[in-house]
């Protein structure tokens, strides 16, 4: 078996008295597309922040591409593409400005790739973020995440708030890009349909723990057998 | 490259602010200078510099971090490979660059505007301006630090004001800026490092806290950082306090100048311990208690000495008042009797009484003697004496109107001028320019003329006829120590002191003070003010005498001795290095001993009592 790209072991994180992650054990195999399912507030974004070295774990360990996200953050971040749930670049920036800022930070940044993706996704490169629609902004962020040719792509609920057309565009591009080489992809969502369309594996996060994980087919079978259970998990309610 | 990109990012954000501020400065600077002169604030350039630094502190210093908190910018910056450190460092660098850039711009703008509109307001580069820049950097960095934990940028200014007034100002006001010349530039830089370092540390901690990464900083690291910051600060504070406090028992403590009040209860000292700055000390001579007054490097001086018009004011005497000048131009006046700062009261009410007290003290102790034995003194920029009726007579020579330097020369006062010295001849009541170079040699104004020494020979010069005659009674190499009121000269030659009658040429050897064991006298001199001999209240002369006998420890046998004018003989030698400061009674004197102590000496018995510092 290939060594995992992301490994969480007994991972804990709390904010004040609120415990968000309560001992997560989780692995990502290289080249796989994993969808992290969970209701809002279950800790999906927290897990991404821990993977990016933006937060310190309270207990347990997390390793990405064999690197410590805190101690080897620079090296690690140069190999990760991240798409946030909302476009969080500065309002005054154009896409060109964003690329101007990002390019020197990634040794593997490919301007030609960025230009190609912008053209294909119809990203307005001279428009400021504050003048863009949510969909255009998300596509720009996706291009920015893919331009350095990352080994692992993290997507934190990238489809929320997108109109159906933009959603389809983004989804299609993600599916295409995920199939490039050995790229590993972890995408969080609470949308089962997205999971069914892109995922190799699915992990369900609830109450700060991984409740279910396995091949997408297994999870979907389980949903078919006990649909109320999984829907409840995804809705964040009682099972 | 990455740093440049981050600086570019900040420039994109704050460019409108900087352009707006620059335009405002371009409009406001000339506008203020075009107002009537009285309305333009003093040190216009300095004030513009302060405003420039405040403007940057408020508009950029207080906004650099808060604006990142809108949206999810902190997260955006934090997840980039360059990391939080680069983002934070670039902000700090941008802040300093914009602060210095805008300040220099405003400084030059103010200078150029002043040059073209009101040249009187052009300021040379001044230490004060450097201090303003230092203070501005501190204020700006603290605005940056406060904004890192205050969510509303608008609150930063009032909090910064409170912090500066109650937190930093007492430290700086009392400890650094006002005395930085005294304690040295390195101390100032050290303080700046600590204070600005504190601001940066606070900002960095808050920044990480906002990112949710402060866990490690909250405990051990912050504690160690605090210890590392506070320990040197504490040590520096302790050392500074120690350095600025006179150490009377230290081996390198010295009393550089001392003045006694009119009732001899208080002594006003200028002290120095090692390489520390001068400190002024007031000693209660009755109890031995003492306190430090004024700021470092400020000293007491008798009225008129500082601005030079009473250039003969000295340490000996009973000082009704002592002045202490502030480098900023203020004067504190201390009451010689109480040792307290004198309240001048309302103008015109207390002043005349002050003048009366001052005149009276000068009349008693002035070293200037008129030929009839009356004392003369310098008051209100003119020479005064008492006439036969006891009324004040003004000898109104204009040379006292401005600051001078000079020394007593028998019945005259020699005034040093840059180009040509002058002689005030109190016998002939005229001021003579000393045109010829040889007249500048040591001389004495006497009834017969001026006694002048040239190439070890003595001559008598008649200033009105300009006739010169050789004085054969004074052998070559003889040193004239003092002109007595009866016209006799106290002279020193070849280890012997004698009394010489110039008219007859007869000289009478004077026996050396008892205690000298007949050792030849090496030097005789006076430490009286204006080089005049010190006179006791009875009119006897006190001389400093050093003998040839060199001691084992390399110090000389020497001391002071009273020359009794009645018996023409010396009293006992009071051995030691003494500087007389006053006479509490006919037979006691106060003196600074070995530059370390204040002693009271009984001239009859030779008994000495240390008044400061007491054990």
CA distance B19 to chain A (A): 17
DSSP assigned state of B277: P
Residues of A in contact with B79 (CB under 8 A): 52-54, 77, 82
Q: Give residue B18's pLDDT.
A: 92
Closest CA relative to residue A54, chosen from B213, B599, B66, B6: B213
Q: Give residue B21's pLDDT.
A: 92
Q: Report the pLDDT averaged over residues B478-489.
A: 82
* Any A CB within 8 A of B430 CB: no
Identity of the residue in B73, B79, B81 whose CB atom sits nearest the CB atom of A106: B81
pLDDT > 90: what percent of chain B? 12
Residues of B in contact with A105 (CB under 8 A): 2, 5, 80-82
How far is the CA of A180 from the CAs of A28, B123, B489, in angstroms?
Answer: 17, 68, 115
Q: Give residue B551's pLDDT.
A: 54
* Any A CB within 8 A of B11 CB: no
CB A53 within 8 A of CB B75: no
CA distance B212 to chain A (A): 6
DSSP assigned state of A108: T
Q: What is the per-residue pLDDT across A85-94, written as a single tens digit (0 to 9) for each?
A: 888 888 889 9
Interchain pair B73, A90: CB under 8 A: yes
Q: What is the per-residue pLDDT across A164-188, written as a single tens digit (0 to 9) for each?
A: 777 777 777 777 776 666 788 898 8
**Residue in A101, A102, A109, A157 to test binding to B, most B beta-carbons within 10 Å:** A101
* Any A CB within 8 A of B13 CB: yes
Interchain pair B78, A54: CB under 8 A: yes
Angle of helix B83-117 relative to helix B185-210, nearest 10 degrees? 130
B507 Cβ neighbours under 8 A, 6+ residues apart: B473, B491, B498, B499, B500, B501
Q: Give residue B22's pLDDT.
A: 93
Least confident of B29-38, B218-227, B409-418, B555-564: B218-227
Residues of A in contact with B78 (CB under 8 A): 52, 54
pLDDT of B106 above 90: yes
Higher pLDDT, B258 or B40: B258
CA distance B564 to B538: 9
Residues of A in contact with B14 (CB under 8 A): none
Interchain pair B215, A54: CB under 8 A: no
Residue B554 burial class via C-beta count within 10 angstroms: exposed 0-12, middle 13-18, buried 19 and up: exposed
Residue B321 dihedral angles phi and psi, to the nearest 5°:
-135, 150
Q: Which residue has the tokens 């505007």?
A: B113
Residue in chain A lying closest to B68 (CA): A90
**Residue in B79, B85, B86, B208 to test binding to A, most A beta-carbons within 10 Å:** B79
* Any A CB within 8 A of B9 CB: yes
Q: Report the pLDDT averaged over residues B405-410.
A: 79
State the pairing for strand pair A201-206/A33-38. parallel
Chain B residues 215-244 within an 8 A CB cutoff of chain A = 215-216
Q: What is the per-residue pLDDT across B1-16, written as a single tens digit (0 to 9) for each?
A: 888 999 999 999 899 9
Residue A219, SS3?
helix
Q: Report the pLDDT averaged over residues B411-423.
A: 79
* Any A CB within 8 A of B72 CB: yes
**Residue in B76, B84, B86 to test binding to A, most A beta-carbons within 10 Å:** B76
Q: Give residue B371's pLDDT.
A: 75
Say how many residues make up chain A.
239
Higher pLDDT, B357 or B215: B357
Chain B residues 188-217 within an 8 A CB cutoff of chain A = 211-213, 215-216
Interchain pair A74, B82: CB under 8 A: yes
Interchain pair B1, A88: CB under 8 A: no
Q: How many CA atoms lie within 13 A of B531 on its CB side?
A: 19
Residues of A in contact with B1 (CB under 8 A): 104
Higher pLDDT, B106 or B330: B106
Q: Give residue B221's pLDDT.
A: 58
CA distance B540 to A176: 115
CA distance A83 to chain B (A): 10
CB B6 within 8 A of CB B90: yes
- Specify the pTM: 0.56
Q: What is the mean pLDDT of chain B?
A: 79
How far is the CA of B575 from the CAs of A164, B569, B610, in angstroms?
Answer: 108, 17, 15
**Residue in A14, A45, A52, A56 to test binding to B, most B beta-carbons within 10 Å:** A56
Q: What is the per-residue pLDDT across B122-173, written as a single tens digit (0 to 9) for each?
A: 877 766 677 777 778 877 887 887 777 776 666 777 777 776 666 555 455 4
Tokens of B360: 């009276």
Identity of the residue in A58, A82, A86 whose CB atom sits nearest the CB atom of B79: A82
ipTM: 0.85
Q: How many CA atoms lie within 13 A of A29 on its CB side?
A: 12
Q: Give residue B73's pLDDT.
A: 72
CA distance A122 to B489: 112
Is it true that the peptide bond before B613 is cis, omega within 30 degrees of 0? Answer: yes
Q: How many CA atoms lie within 13 A of B393 on its CB side?
A: 12
Q: Report the pLDDT averaged over residues B190-200.
A: 68
Residue B16, SS3?
helix
Residue B279, SS3?
strand
Interchain pair A90, B72: CB under 8 A: no
Residue A155, SS3?
strand
Higher pLDDT, B178 or A155: A155
Q: Give residue B534's pLDDT.
A: 81
CB A154 within 8 A of CB A80: yes
Helix, strand, coil percentages in chain B from 3-state DSSP, rounded to 5: 40, 30, 35
Residue B592, SS3?
strand
DSSP assigned state of B401: G
pLDDT of B482 above 90: no
Residue in chain B lying closest to A106 (CA): B81
Interchain pair A88, B76: CB under 8 A: yes
Q: Report the pLDDT averaged over residues B281-288.
A: 91
Residue in chain A lying closest to B73 (CA): A88
pLDDT of A162 above 50: yes
Residues of A in contact with B215 (CB under 8 A): 56, 58
CA distance B85 to chain A (A): 11
Report the range out of B243-247, B429-433, B587-591 with the highest average pLDDT.
B587-591
Strand partners, B593: B578, B597
Q: Give residue B269's pLDDT.
A: 92
Q: Detail the DSSP E strand segments found in A102-227.
A: 152-156, 184-189, 201-206, 209-215
pLDDT of A210 above 60: yes
pLDDT of B349 above 90: no
Q: Detail the DSSP E strand segments found in B294-336.
A: 300-301, 321-325, 331-335
Residues of B in contact with A97 (CB under 8 A): 12
Residues of B in contact with A54 (CB under 8 A): 75, 78-79, 211-213
Q: What is the per-residue pLDDT across B28-74, written as a single tens digit (0 to 9) for each?
A: 998 988 888 777 887 788 889 889 988 898 888 888 887 877 666 77
């Amino acid at each position: 078996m290939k060594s995992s790209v992301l490994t969480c072991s007994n991972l804990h994180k709390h904010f004040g008295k609120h415990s968000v992650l309560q001992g997560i054990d989780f692995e990502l195999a290289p080249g796989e597309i994993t969808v992290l399912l969970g209701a809002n507030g279950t800790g999906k974004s927290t897990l991404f922040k821990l993977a990016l070295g933006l937060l310190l774990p309270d207990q347990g360990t997390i390793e990405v591409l064999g690197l410590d996200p805190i101690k080897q953050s620079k090296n690690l971040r140069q190999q990760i593409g991240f798409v946030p749930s909302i476009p969080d670049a500065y309002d005054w920036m154009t896409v060109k400005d964003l690329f101007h800022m990002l390019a020197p930070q990634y040794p593997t940044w490919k301007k030609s790739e960025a230009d190609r993706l912008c053209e294909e996704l119809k990203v307005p490169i001279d428009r400021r973020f504050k003048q863009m629609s949510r969909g255009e902004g998300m596509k720009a962020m996706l291009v920015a995440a893919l331009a350095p040719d990352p080994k692992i792509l993290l997507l934190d609920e990238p489809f929320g708030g997108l109109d159906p057309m933009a959603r389809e565009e983004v989804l299609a591009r993600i599916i295409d890009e995920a199939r490039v080489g050995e790229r590993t992809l972890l995408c969080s969502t609470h949308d089962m349909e997205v999971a069914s369309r892109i995922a190799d594996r699915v992990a369900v996060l609830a109450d700060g723990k991984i409740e279910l994980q396995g091949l997408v087919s297994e999870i979907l079978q389980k949903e078919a057998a006990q649909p109320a259970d999984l829907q409840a998990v995804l809705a964040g309610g009682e099972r | 490259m990455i740093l440049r990109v981050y600086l570019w990012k900040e420039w994109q954000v704050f460019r409108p602010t900087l352009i707006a501020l620059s335009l405002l400065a371009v409009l406001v600077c000339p506008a203020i200078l075009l107002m009537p002169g009285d309305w333009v604030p003093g040190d216009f350039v300095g004030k513009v510099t302060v405003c420039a630094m405040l403007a940057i502190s408020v508009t950029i210093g207080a906004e650099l971090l808060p604006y990142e908190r809108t949206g999810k910018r902190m997260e955006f910056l934090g997840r980039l490979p360059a990391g939080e450190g680069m983002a934070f460092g670039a902000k700090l660098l941008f802040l300093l660059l914009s602060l210095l850039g805008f300040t220099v711009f405003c400084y030059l703008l103010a200078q150029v505007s002043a040059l073209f509109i009101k040249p009187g307001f052009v300021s040379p580069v001044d230490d004060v301006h450097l201090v303003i820049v230092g203070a501005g950097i501190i204020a700006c960095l603290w605005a940056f630090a406060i904004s890192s934990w205050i969510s509303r940028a608008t609150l930063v200014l009032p909090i910064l004001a409170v912090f500066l007034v109650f937190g930093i100002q007492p430290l700086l006001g009392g400890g650094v800026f006002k005395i930085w010349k005294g304690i040295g530039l390195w101390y100032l830089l050290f303080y700046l490092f600590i204070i600005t370092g504190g601001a940066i540390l606070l900002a960095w901690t808050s920044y990480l806290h906002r990112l949710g990464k402060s866990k490690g900083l909250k405990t051990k690291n912050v504690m160690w950082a605090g210890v590392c910051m506070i320990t040197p600060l504490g040590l520096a504070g302790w050392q500074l306090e120690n350095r600025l406090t006179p150490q009377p028992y230290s081996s390198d403590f010295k009393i550089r100048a001392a003045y006694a009040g009119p009732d001899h209860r208080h002594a006003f000292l200028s002290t120095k311990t090692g390489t520390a700055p001068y400190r002024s000390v007031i000693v209660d001579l009755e109890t031995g208690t003492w306190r430090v007054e004024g700021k470092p490097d400020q000293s007491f001086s008798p009225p008129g000495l500082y601005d030079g018009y009473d250039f003969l004011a000295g340490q000996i005497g009973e000082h009704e008042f002592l002045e202490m000048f502030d480098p900023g131009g203020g004067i504190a006046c201390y009451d010689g009797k109480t040792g307290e700062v004198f309240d001048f009261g309302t103008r015109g009410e207390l002043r005349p009484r002050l003048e009366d007290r001052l005149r009276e003290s000068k009349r008693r102790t002035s070293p200037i003697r008129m030929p009839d034995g009356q004392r003369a003194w310098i008051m209100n920029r003119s020479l005064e004496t008492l006439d036969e009726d006891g009324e004040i007579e003004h000898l109104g020579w204009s040379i006292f109107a401005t600051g001078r330097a000079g020394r007593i020369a028998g019945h005259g006062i020699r005034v040093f001028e840059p180009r040509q010295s002058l002689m005030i001849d109190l016998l002939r009541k005229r001021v003579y320019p000393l045109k010829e170079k040889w007249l500048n040699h040591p001389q004495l104004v006497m009834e017969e003329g001026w006694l002048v020494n040239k190439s070890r020979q003595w001559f008598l010069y008649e200033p009105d006829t300009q006739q010169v005659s050789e004085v054969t009674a004074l052998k070559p190499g003889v040193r004239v120590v003092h002109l007595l009121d009866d016209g006799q000269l106290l002279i020193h030659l070849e280890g012997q002191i004698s009394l010489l009658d110039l008219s007859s040429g007869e000289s009478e050897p004077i026996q050396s003070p008892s205690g000298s064991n007949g050792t030849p006298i090496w030097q005789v001199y006076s430490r009286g003010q204006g080089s005049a001999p010190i006179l006791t209240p009875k009119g006897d002369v006190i001389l400093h005498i050093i003998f040839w006998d060199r001691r084992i420890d390399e110090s000389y046998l020497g001391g002071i001795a009273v020359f009794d004018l009645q018996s023409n003989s010396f009293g006992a030698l009071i051995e030691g290095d003494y500087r007389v400061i006053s006479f509490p009674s006919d037979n006691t004197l106060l003196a600074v001993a070995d530059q370390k102590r204040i002693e009271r000496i009984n001239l009859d018995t030779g008994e000495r009592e240390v008044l400061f510092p007491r054990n």
